[in-house]
Amino acid sequence: MSFDFLEFLKSLVSLTISDYLRELWGNQPWVDFLMNVLGVVILSTFCLLIVIFLIWLERKVIARIQRRIGPNRVGGRYGLLQTVADVIKLLIKEDITPTGADKVAYLLAPFLTVMAALMVWAVMPFAPNIIGVDLNIGIFYFLAISSVSVVALLLAGWGSNNKYALLGAFRSVAQLVSYEVPMILALLVPILLARSMSTVDIVNAQTVPYLIVAPLAALIFFISSLAETGRTPFDLLEAESEIVAGFHVEYGGMKFGMFFLAEFVSTLFMSGFFATVFLGGYRLFGLETLVIGDGWVIGNLLGLIIFFVKMFAVYFVYIWIRGTLPRVRVDQILNFNWKFLVPVSLALVMMTAVLDKLLPDTFNDFARAGAHLLANIILAMITIEILRSYARRQRKLASDDGAAETASGHDDHGHHEPAHEPVAAH
């Protein structure tokens, strides 16, 4: 048979656009430029389009958790086109700017949010050699860009000329700025272990996934990423049932749609980032470097699939938590952050740094992982013990107060009698 199917597939994969353009124009500088532009366009289009699927997925899973059916009218039995219908509805709504709004701030805010949500994807390693740009400061870049998105909330809150929007923005900024601290500290642990801030280096360093090496860091990062993306139980940013919709109460139509979109894009990014930093990204028992036939690197494709499976597994956990947990109060959020997460993550960073330095070089990756895991478990137990003794003290205080209140009548006599005694002695 003259037609070899495998050969055909191989030619399809190995002749990339870059090769084609080089054949067409030769080795010109604008080929690189065009490739970069293409990469940006493809990546951001992917991020924006996948949101259509994500919204459907979230509604469907939440519905199943709450024993409902979820969208099932538009687009067949499973309601696959529900989001498309919603987007069309948003697009044909009237475009309103509230009276007295600060036009610059009001119109700039939605764009800034979406921009920040898309820009972070540049450092996400999808598969071996498939990454926007492998910065040597990849994680730091992510933190820098995500701190810019706080500005957008403030702009939206101020620009709307609405008290509730402004209050919602203040709340959100307080929450986001606070939870940046434990997030940075938790991300320091993988940086320390991999000795690099580049996302690719961190993936390559994970012979053992960091979820096992540093489970506490993974947990802290996960909690603070919930807060950073404003999802339940930290969804005070919108809190539909309390403050209408927080900072974007005055936004309608597609301007609101952009906030909504940015939220989903950044949640997906957080799941991908968690998969990259703590679950080993595109790595799975060396499948990502698999080569079959005469030099056909199927590993790239497998790596992409592995990465997506991991990313959506983490995303499912986000939805699961949203379907399970109630919302917490604003003071509880801040207390939990400053009095619990920050001290624990500080102790964790210290412990990891010292332990990593103390471990002898003769240890291989698995022995190091075991030692780190043990230390993490010990730290977790110490933390739980401190929490328990604190809770016990609180309970004791509460029960003492209760006893004092119920016996207050007798207590008065009890306090007065010693004062009378000296008189009686006279």
Read off the tokens for 385: 């013990």
| Residue 325 binding another protein, by CB under 8 A | no
CB of 68 to another protein, least distance (A): 40
**CA separation for the pair 49, 44 (Å, rounded):** 8
Q: Is the bond leading into 233 cis (omega within 30 degrees of zero)?
A: yes
CB closer to another protein out of 72 and 147: 147
Residue 354 interacting with another protein (CB under 8 A): no
Q: Which residues pair with 292 in a beta bridge?
A: 296
Options 15, 41, 144, 291; binder of another protein; rule CB under 8 A: 144
Of 52 and 185, nearer to another protein (C-beta) is 185
Question: Is residue 135 near another protein by the rule CB under 8 A?
Answer: yes
Rule CB under 8 A: say whether 200 interacts with another protein: no
Minimal distance in Å, beta carbon 89 to another protein? 32
| Footprint of another protein on 153-192 (CB under 8 A) | 154-155, 158, 166, 173, 177, 180
Return the half-sphere exposure (C-beta side, CA atoms, 13 A cut-off) of residue 294. 2
Total interface residues for another protein by CB under 8 A: 24
Residue 140 binds another protein, judged by CB under 8 A: yes
Considering only the stretches 12-20, 49-57, 149-157, 215-223, report the one whose residues sit in contact with another protein under the rule CB under 8 A: 149-157
Please give the Cα distance from 52 to 308 (Å, whole number): 16
Asked if 151 interacts with another protein (CB under 8 A), we say yes
The nearer residue to another protein, 145 or 297, going by C-beta atoms, is 145
CB of 132 to another protein, least distance (A): 14
Is 63 exposed, middle or buried, given 0-12, 13-18 or 19+ CB atoms closer than 10 A? middle
148 binds another protein (CB under 8 A): yes
* Residue 183, CB-side half-sphere exposure with 13 Å CA sphere: 24
3-state secondary structure of 296: strand
CA distance 180 to 184: 6
The footprint of another protein on residues 43-102 (CB under 8 A) is 102
SS3 130: strand
Asked if 247 touches another protein (CB under 8 A), the answer is no
58 contact partners, CB below 8 Å, separation of at least 6: 264, 319, 322
Find, among 120, 104, 228, 119, the residue nearest to 155 by Cα. 104
Tokens 């986001």 found at: 176
The footprint of another protein (CB under 8 A) covers 102, 104-105, 108, 135-137, 140-141, 143-145, 147-148, 150-151, 154-155, 158, 166, 173, 177, 180, 197
